Amino acid sequence: MTLTYQRVQTPSEDQYALLLLADPSQRLLASYVPKSHVYAANDRSGLAGMLVLRSRSNQVIEIMNVAVTPAKQHQGYGRALLTFARQWAIERGYRTVRIATGTTSLWQLYLYQQCGFRVVAVERDYFTANYSQPIVENGLVLRDRLVLELPITLPQLPINEQ
């Protein structure tokens, strides 16, 4: 799988629909997409995924939205998007990559932890407070949000002793 990444100023209808799969709130998407760095990931057959990155400080970049085309899920595309986000953050001097997900988002939580992210906070009732309609995943009503972070460790430079 080879992906090419294209910066997007205004998501197309297909790109926006894909973002809605990861975050079903049009209101929340409208609040963060214009203030973020948005990338479309394409493979040889077209749109494979979307990635939205937002600076939280000069040290922290947050993955606000990561979405993979349904037919391409569970094939390594999500991992590729996360790898791109980490490399993007390194190139711009960030020290931490943050991402948040629902406590019922089992596949996503598993992937993020496989990629080195660790849970740093639980935001109780985040989804019931911020979404007008209940979200049901894996047969459970989504209530709480987990915040995970991946510290960016830079290689140690050798100490030149004289």
- Token duo for residue 96: 């931490």
The confidence band for 1, taking pLDDT boundaries of 50, 70 and 90, is confident
- Show the tokens assigned to 118: 């660790």
Poorest-confidence range of 11-15, 38-42, 134-138, 158-162? 158-162
Q: What is the pLDDT of residue 153?
A: 79
* Nearest of 74, 143, 142, 154 to residue 114 by alpha carbon: 74
Question: How many secondary structure helices (H) and strands (E) does the chain include?
Answer: 5, 9
8 A C-beta contact, residue 18 and residue 47: yes
* Cβ partners under 8 Å of residue 115, min gap 6: 79, 82, 83, 86, 150
